[in-house]
Structure 1
């Protein structure tokens, strides 16, 4: 039901700093809406907010207008996991409020649609869309898709909470990097390695196209060393960095992404730092069964079946390897579909491929 691009964008929230700020716009675009809002609330007020609006508009909502928002009141009266829609009378009342006249009208807010999901520990997630571009009012299909998006966003945010700890001292940041199942390094502007996670150490030792030479990260292919150094220097000095494809062997390559280290990562010491992520092209994702168990509530057996499917095994092969009937695997698949919000084996495999490569205890 959801595109692989949208699923990947949703689950990027778990590991990528900027993804939460971007996801409201991605969802709005996917469903044909002009504006989007994602809010994490605790104690009746938002503690984290992403809107497809200018920063000053978002700040105004956080500082004052969220207290007047009648749609938030409708949301609060809607049960978790149900679409938040407004009837004709509620819409008319909405247009007569101070919130609409002084705030919502200015940004073209009409035809709101949303969903509210629990996150635990007194927090909840609110997803809202408005200004439908495809129709006058939200359609039943829009409502169903919104419910699916709500479930996936709930899981992605909960996963991010499990992986929290990236902000803080050197020890907590290194522990977080070690949870990522692909290579990650933190360097200074001149390429000196400040940190290298376990997956990165293993990849470099096995020949992934990158080397650590005299403490500096460089390309195994000398002709590409200058390009890598240039990207690292750019990202450390306020630039956006970029991507490279480095030769790792006769028929193998490494995909390398260079980006600025998020400013709130609070890495100890002075000066800017750069984050370098890398993995061999075509390397298996090694989906972690614990991730599926802790995030989606799969049983141990269901998680093992899901992992086997991503490895290209058929239902018959999985049944033979596990010593069970194919009907048992089919039954487990139906349960997996329900828990992951997917409806077919193809959709499930595409969805699992979009999950972040992380390790969950």
Structure 2
């Protein structure tokens, strides 16, 4: 068994450097003990992330979808009892209790599960990491020998996970620092708005952006902040969201870009979801609709109408100029307000002042497509 432990310890420390190897570490440990499956759980700031065997993660998707995650007494008890060693269901629930608990009776037992061992590892910066392995009910309770070996591996798992977490933070810091070097105020954030790292330009130069309770990013403009969190919640690898921040007495108008971290970019911050970058771009060239379309996901028609509104025209005038109905202009204006977080025409003008220098073709005969 010493050779097996030595092999496992080597894989555990490899995963500290190459985080994507944690699922294989969990799977390798599981195979040695003939466990059904296993997973690691990182929890910080109310957010929970999983890495583990495919079958375990598939069941966890069902577990979350059916609402069991919010009433997981089993995990709560395991985390409380397993802060210094691996513990089993049988260590803190009697057979009668397990049979009477809905989580066992309605979810675990029908899937042939209900024998598990878990431990809790306290990471840096209030990060809690759970390590859990499931054994099929047909195999009975997890043996004392398996617990003894898992406990001998626990210090190595703990050190490796803490090291991995610290390396992730340093990678995020390096990415933020690199953006600072090119003059870009930026922060690395998770999809719940938790800031992993922010460069000095972001934290000191911008008085309309702050980091609040639980390290959450906050834009002081309410509409912009709502759009930011909507973008983070729905972020996809091929979508960049740009949010206009209007000028104030102390600050120029600017644009907040939400840039997804995906593919090889995740090497810089495996726990990050996006870069939040604040920019004050130069004014656009005349007749160029691409800036508004690209920044705020406006259609060509919406971009043209936004430019007319920006020039000071009322909606009936816009309709007349472009040769389309007032109702069409009014409907598109509502879509523009929603995409830019504007409350109306005057607010839209304020928010788009950062890209205000546009001019339209002189001919009004090129109405936007409906």
The answer to whether TM tops 0.5 is no
- Whose helix proportion is higher, 1 or 2? 2
- Greater C-alpha Rg: 2
Q: Scaled by the length of structure 1, what TM-score is found?
A: 0.42
Larger RCO: Structure 1 or Structure 2 (Cα < 8 Å, ≥ 6 residues apart)? 1
